[in-house]
Structure 1
Amino acid sequence: MTLTKFAQRFTCSPSPISPFHGMPPELIDLIIDHAHADRSLLAACSLVCKAWFPAARYHLFSNTKLNVQNALSFVHLIESTSSTVSPFVRHIDAKDNCEGGRWVDDLFLNLTSLPYITSISLTSSCDAPLSQITLFTLCSFDRLVELRLAECEFRDFTEVQQLICSFPMLEILYLEADWPEPRTIDLTDASPSPYLRELYLRCEMSHVLEWFLLQPSVAPVSKLTLHGLDSIDLPVVSRYLRRLGPALTHLIIPRIGSVVDSLSDHLDLSLNACLRYLKLGIDSDVAYLSMARTLLSQLDSPFFEEVELSLYSVRQSPKVARYWTDLDTLLTGPHFPSMKRATVSAMSAVSLAKEVLPLCHERGVLQVQHH
């Protein structure tokens, strides 16, 4: 009998005897875990018996996605005197935009009654800064270990600093936001979380990193993503990478545009002695391929095992053949004794990757994928 039929049978059964009587509760939880994507089944399981209730409710409500269509009804649900939902909500994914209608300012404050929120993702694509009430609400979730802000605007950089400092246990920060140019970057009374391990910046990253560098100690970020790197950012980024040193294990630069000619001159990865993974968004021409090789040759990490080159198209021509060969030789040579994967992802002509990186292909480290 499938779990679905079993749950439906006992949901409708008047029998007071619990199903799976005598079975360890940990095993029951594992069985229900397998149904984590089937919401109708989870709803049925939550009504079977008390032993099934916590695991089923956790999968139903731990990740809550809110928008203008369902936010009000969710607020009514958690505010109901008979509600049993609140203890199970861990992550809130809230989307507020002008096309769908704004709701965050009016309803977000009601979510502070949720006691165990550890993760918030907020997308606010309206052409207006986050309101004070929304910022106040965000700051009240002081147990957060993960904060993701997308398409958000702030009135000034001080608001950004105050928000980040509100989460003393923060481990993951995703910041895709805009704010006016500050006159100065000053040290704040409060400090960012010392537990920050994953940092994604798609913003005026020099402001954030300059502020981080002013701290007496910099959180040992192990995974760093720099999206939209500009030439003005390079000196600060360079100092920040040196400060991270061996703490950094993953470096991702998704799009390298105007900085292609100066990136390898400004960045020195030799001090990131524990780097394991490097992803670069490049193109198949001389400048990009030369930059990628130079940047990789800086590495002095015995743990380095994976490089990913993300291109629009893989191109092969006499003009770039030598640069592909140099890159291929470097990736398969003694410089990287722990190399496991060299991934080439592109939108077109991906099949050429085996021809431009033949040694990687022969060694079995080349992986090719469309994106």
Structure 2
Amino acid sequence: MSTERVVRARVPSEICDMIIDYLHGSTETLSTCALVCKAWLPAARMHRFETLHIPRSQSRRPALALLCDNTSNILPCIRHLSLEDGWKGWKRNDPSWLDDALPRMRLRELNNLRSLTIHSLSWRALSTRARGCLLSVLPRVTSLSLPLLEGDFSLGVFEILCAATSLETLALLRPRMTDTMDQTSFLARFPAAPILRTLKRMQVDASSVLLNPIRWVNPDLLMTDLELHDVLETSAVDAASFLASCGKGVIHLSLRFNHLMFSSPEGVFIRSGGLSRNPSLLTLISLLHTRSSYPSSTKSPLHDCVRSFSI
């Protein structure tokens, strides 16, 4: 009696990993792959939980449990974390859910975290304990985005920046902060803050109250890529001063001018020094945003400035 030997072809694990890598954008497919066999689980889980987004709505509970539950084993997979704080609907007085959640999150175990985004963060709404938990995770973060900052928060921003000692990319866009600071009192609070020493790329609103304090505390920024948004006629002088403080470091620059009525922020920008202190500039993108009947055929004053520097 003859017996037939069944030969099963084995696909090399490297090829399986390449296939799963190709599926990194489909969370549903990755979840299915993780259930096929143990060999597929590590690669599928790594891509499935590489980015974790926790919204401000009640639908955040399943995602929040992944960070808080003691049995969760996906923490080493998380490289990009996004948290949505802020108002619920149109109610301004709702408490921050982060104040309760941050102390419960296993943030110290996010050893591979590299990118952090927090929408509509209100520093005042956080307790001392919640702030400490947030600051503890920042030393390993290389990319930080804080859009739509809320309230009187300028000093809180610099507490965050002081903790983010490995930061390479920073975005501070569309802040809704109302506080103002003078240089003397600010430097008394942060006399020699070692912030943004490793920074390479920055996005910031020129009209933000944060622009001058960043220049005060670190007058010799060495970033190579800079995007200045919302350059108004009233903020063009601060934008030029900030760009001058970056000196020879800036190689790629994006300027987004905002014309209100018949204002000319570009003219103010050039008269305030413009690009005269940035000899290393290789790439310049100048964008116009017009909110009125500003003549579209009018030549931007910045065009002559660009040609004179042969960019």
Deviations 1:300-338 (A, max 9, x none): 44xxxxxxxxxxxxxxxxxxxxxxxxxxxxxxxxxxxxx
Partner Cα distance (1:94, 1:110) in 2? 14
Partner Cα distance (2:286, 2:43) in 1? 38
The 5-angstrom pairing of residues 75-154 of structure 1 reads 75-99=64-88, 102-111=96-105, 112-115=107-110, 116-124=112-120, 129-133=124-128, 134-141=130-137, 142-154=139-151
Q: Is 1:163 the counterpart of 2:160 in the alignment? A: yes
Aligned position for 2:302: 292
Q: Is 1:37 the counterpart of 2:25 in the alignment? A: yes
Partner Cα distance (2:114, 2:251) in 1? 24
* CA shift in 2, pair 1:223/1:81, >3 Å: same
The 5-angstrom pairing of residues 4-15 of structure 1 reads none
Deviations 1:180-226 (A, max 9, x none): 111324153321131111111126546434543543x7332122121
Deviation at 1:143, TM superposition (A): 0.7
CA contact (8 A) 1:78 1:86 kept: yes
Deviations 1:229-271 (A, max 9, x none): 2445434432332343342122222233242431222243243
The 5-angstrom pairing of residues 1-371 of structure 1 reads 21=10, 23-25=12-14, 27-67=15-55, 68-99=57-88, 102-111=96-105, 112-115=107-110, 116-124=112-120, 129-133=124-128, 134-141=130-137, 142-176=139-173, 177=175, 178-184=177-183, 185-186=186-187, 187-202=190-205, 204-205=207-208, 207-215=210-218, 218-257=220-259, 258=263, 259-270=265-276, 271-282=278-289, 285=295, 289-301=299-311
Deviation at 1:125, TM superposition (A): 7.2
Partner Cα distance (1:124, 1:218) in 2? 29
Aligned to 1:199, the other structure's residue is in SS state: strand
Letter in 1 for 2:72: S
Partner Cα distance (1:114, 1:105) in 2? 19
Partner Cα distance (2:299, 2:60) in 1? 48
Aligned to 1:218, the other structure's residue is in SS state: coil
Deviation at 1:136, TM superposition (A): 2.9
CA contact (8 A) 1:241 1:269 kept: yes
* CA shift in 2, pair 1:253/1:288, >3 Å: farther
* CA shift in 2, pair 1:146/1:267, >3 Å: same
* CA shift in 2, pair 1:20/1:130, >3 Å: farther
How does the TM-score come out when normalised to structure 2? 0.77
* CA shift in 2, pair 1:288/1:180, >3 Å: farther
Partner Cα distance (2:21, 2:156) in 1? 40
Aligned to 2:258, the other structure's residue is in SS state: coil
Partner Cα distance (1:97, 1:157) in 2? 17
CA contact (8 A) 1:249 1:274 kept: yes
Partner Cα distance (2:257, 2:133) in 1? 33
Partner Cα distance (1:206, 1:29) in 2? 47
Deviation at 1:132, TM superposition (A): 3.9
- Stretches of structure 1 lacking an aligned partner (at least 5 in a row): 1-18, 302-371
Partner Cα distance (1:207, 1:77) in 2? 34
Letter in 2 for 1:188: P
Deviations 1:38-83 (A, max 9, x none): 2221012112233322221122111111112333322323444442
Partner Cα distance (1:241, 1:78) in 2? 40
Partner Cα distance (1:125, 1:206) in 2? 16
- Stretches of structure 2 lacking an aligned partner (at least 5 in a row): 1-7
Partner Cα distance (1:130, 1:287) in 2? 48
Partner Cα distance (1:123, 1:227) in 2? 18
Deviations 1:107-156 (A, max 9, x none): 13333244222211111277x84524554333111211111111112535
Partner Cα distance (2:266, 2:284) in 1? 20
Deviation at 1:166, TM superposition (A): 0.7
Percent identical among aligned pairs is 21
Partner Cα distance (1:280, 1:269) in 2? 16
Deviation at 1:281, TM superposition (A): 1.5
CA contact (8 A) 2:20 2:44 kept: yes
Aligned to 1:192, the other structure's residue is in SS state: coil
